[in-house]
Copies of this chain bind each other. A is one copy, B any other.
């Protein structure tokens, strides 16, 4: 019951006819409870704290599944933190990632310009957007204030 009540990702999966294994359930739980963005290695490490036998390949296969099901988004966060990919649950609110190379911080920013972009692309180009990834590189407020000081 607790699982069913909280397991929105799990629910979404079984709705799509995707078999819900112990490993997938665990990975979904970790993704759901993760504070920020996780890469594959971090996801594996976190999952292994609960089930030490889970394998790297399973993590990659599950991420692939979730990506193609549209349940998670893949980001690279402008490679400020490394060369790998990062993953986050797809949410309802459209948001943009702001990355500051000076301090390495990634923050998020909600704006309806994302929706407007999807509409403009549809209107002018006949292109039906299913996912939009926006990553902005620049100097964050804290860093620019520190410089002026």
Contact = CB atoms under 8 A, between A and B. Distances in A.
Nearest to A113: B117
Which size class do A's interface residues fall under? 35 or more
Interface stretch (A25-33, A42-50, A118-126): A118-126
Copies in the complex: 2
Contact of A138 (B107, B128, B139, B141): B128
A66 interface: no
Interface string A87-123: 0000000001010100000010101010011101100
A137 interface: yes
Contacts of A117: 96, 111, 113, 134, 136
Nearest to A141: B126
